Amino acid sequence: MHHDLYPFAKFVAILGRGKTKQRHLTLDESREAMTMILRDEVLPEQLGAFLMLLRLKEEAPEEIAGFTLAARGEMDLPKNLPTVDIDWSSYAGKRIQLPWYILSVLALVNAGYSVLMHGTEGHTPGRIYTRKTLEKLGFQAATSLDDAANQIRTRRFSYVPLELISPPLQHMINLRPVFGLRSPVHSFSRMLNPFSAETMMLGIFHRGFMEIHAGAAQYMNQPRMAVFRGEGGEVERRPNKPTQVWTTNGTAKPVVETWPTLLDTPHQPADEDMNIDVLAQVWRGQIKGGYGEAAIIGTIAVTLRTMGKAGSTEMAERLAQEIWAARDRQMLQPR
């Protein structure tokens, strides 16, 4: 430890001074604090106190931005990065409906866009996660960031587990059972965008985070980002509910649009089976219509609009239908 013994203590103190004196960390403070954490320059007691005080206070946009910038600064990235069109975070896992967004992503990849997905799994029992689903559908997760870069080059798609992007962040997420609470790391991991894609897609579960993530994107001057309350907290439009989407373009004020419902049935019963084979059957056109296809096409539409490919929500819906109709039905070979 440094000579003034506990240099990280000042950040804990800022967050823990009680209701009247506590404040948010500034962007620079957040960046400095997270850099120290990622370099293992803090005591476990300090880390626990810091994460839980942050959780209690609720993160501010400048904190999320500072933490993300710190994590990006500590990443060990490959030398020649391929161009990635869309960064797609997947940190929630699915419990009630199948991960339809995976087919949205594969349809976009099929249409010529490159997508880097990243996420983590297994932190909540009883959920199915992106990585296992993709592997069942024949897409192996990347084994390193170099491997991810090669996968993007060869097939325009890669799924990268968080532990490859940042082992310390994965460690902090794994503390969930230690605290009995989700750590704030979940929030900013969604914004890591390791290969600097122009467009970022974020799904969240709690309404209040839309403003926080949109604000963080502004601080980071992210060219294009959308955040919305997706099914189960993933980037997946709920076709039976209106969907409010917050879009950020660089440092401009976020734009809020409400997308209409796509289905007349307001309540969708939970999927009791959660059978991944159904995804392949829908992809191959053996099962048509209904909730799944509406979720897939609706999610593609929001993505196209965020990428600036459609001037209106109506145009985005039409384009999304075309992309879905034109998919290569042989692309999925489940194992």
Residue 183 lies in a domain: yes
Residue 22 lies in a domain: no
What pLDDT sits at residue 123?
63
CA 100 vs CA 93, 103, 333, 334: distances in Å: 12, 6, 17, 15
Residue 276 lies in a domain: yes
Residue 165 lies in a domain: yes
The whole-number average pLDDT for the span 74-95 is 95
Residue 307 lies in a domain: yes
Residue 334 lies in a domain: no
Q: What percent of the chain has pLDDT over 70?
A: 97
What pLDDT sits at residue 211?
94
The whole-number average pLDDT for the span 167-190 is 88
This prediction has a pTM of 0.95
Residue 234 lies in a domain: yes
d(CA 16, CA 68): 22
Q: Per residue in 8-55, pLDDT tens?
A: 999 999 998 877 787 899 999 999 999 999 999 999 999 999 999 998
Domain at 90, CATH number? 3.40.1030.10
Q: Per residue in 108-121, pLDDT tens?
A: 999 999 999 999 98
Residues 6+ apart with CB under 8 A from 53: 12, 15, 16
Confirm if 286 and 279 have CB atoms less than 8 A apart. Answer: no
* Structure letter (DSSP) for residue 330: T
Q: Per residue in 186-242, pLDDT tens?
A: 889 999 999 999 999 999 988 888 999 999 999 999 999 999 999 999 999 999 999
What pLDDT sits at residue 243?
96
Number of domains in the chain: 1
Residue 194 lies in a domain: yes
What pLDDT sits at residue 2?
47
Q: Is the pLDDT of residue 265 over 90?
A: no
Handedness of CA 30, 36, 38, 40 (dihedral sign): negative
Q: Is the pLDDT of residue 294 over 90?
A: yes
* Burial classification of residue 28, based on how many CB atoms lie within 10 Å of its CB (0-12 exposed, 13-18 middle, 19 or more buried): exposed
d(CA 58, CA 280): 39
Q: Which domain holds residue 305?
A: 86-325
The whole-number average pLDDT for the span 301-317 is 97
